Amino acid sequence: MPWRFSPRSHRPRLDILGISTVAGNIPLDLTTKNALKLLELAGRTEVPVHAGCDRPLGRALVTAEHVHGETGLDGPDLPEPATKAGALHGADFIIETVREREAGTVTLLTLGPLTNVALAFAKAPDIVPRLQGLVMMGGGCFQGGNITPAAEFNVYVDPEAAAMVFRSGVPITVLSLDVTNNMRSTKARIAAFSDLGNASGKAVAAMLAFSERFDVEKYNWEGAPLHDPCVTAYVLNPAIFEGREVNVEIETGSPLTRGMTVVDYWGVSGRPKNALWVRSGDSDRFFALLTERIGRLP
């Protein structure tokens, strides 16, 4: 999702330039439909959506309906979207968007496998130095993995794409399981979304109430971790989070540790630092920010 940051002293704002969908938790057609549904729910149908890669660069697709339901958005009863995706391939949309705007003003926010981004970088390496950066949800170090003992789902699905992106030279900020696993949607926090009284708040509450059943049983926590919104929260208020510059390499060869993010947190390898690894955050401030922003929507 390309976006541009407009600084304001008290109310930072994201200019969302468009959404590039990718196969991940669910197949591409459902991911694209869900993006259109959510934009209609939020009253932002002017934001373009372009479908990207329907499979990883060199592997069979792994999906996660067991967590998110058959639609990938089970829980709320959202109508079929009235809008349609654009004609461009998602990777080409990224390329055009970055080239059309002033260098250093566009950042990519990624919430799934990095397939579209890797393809865009391979097709148009000139866009890499033009980007302000890339902020991603993915990986794990101290928390291990959530799809295998070693790997987080987004990186596991397409480790070759992740390896390409981490070696590209683009400034990367990683919101990993180390921090997102601590952002837990407790019953009180879910109720706060529902109590907003708007359609978006009720839909978010329904999504979380559905999806949390899997993780609550899995982890035996009071609430389930809320991963992807950490990316936007970081951009809006990085002071909520803490991390350090590290080297990250992606395991692509081993069947046992496929997709592992090998994080040199203590600087023992001598390899150059290529990412800001976010390890912790204030969950109360995170949910307060998220609830306030959802409250602005229809």
Is the pLDDT at 6 greater than 80? The verdict is: no
Contact (Cβ atoms closer than 8 angstroms) between residue 279 and residue 252: no
Measure the CA–CA gap between 36 and 220, rounded to whole angstroms. Answer: 34
Catalytic residue, candidates 50, 68, 89, 227: 227
- What is the structure's pLDDT at 217? 73
Measure CA 148 to chain center: 19
Measure the CA–CA gap between 113 and 95, rounded to whole angstroms. Answer: 17
Is the pLDDT at 10 greater than 90? The verdict is: no
Domains in the chain, CATH or no CATH each: 2-294 (3.90.245.10)
Query: Exposed, middle or buried, 6 (CB in 10 Å: 0-12/13-18/19+)?
Result: exposed
Q: What is the pTM of this model?
A: 0.93
Residues 6+ apart with CB under 8 A from 246: 263, 264, 265, 267, 273, 274, 275, 276, 277
Beta strand ranges found along 165-265 (DSSP E): 172-175, 184-185, 224-225, 241-250, 261-264
Measure CA 237 to chain center: 16
The question of whether 89 is a catalytic residue gets the answer no
- What is the structure's pLDDT at 8? 37
- pLDDT, tens digit, for every residue of 261-292? 999 999 999 999 999 999 999 999 999 999 99
Report the alpha-carbon angle 72-26-214, nearest 5: 50
Query: Exposed, middle or buried, 104 (CB in 10 Å: 0-12/13-18/19+)?
Result: exposed
Residue 262 is given by DSSP the state E
- What is the structure's pLDDT at 75? 85
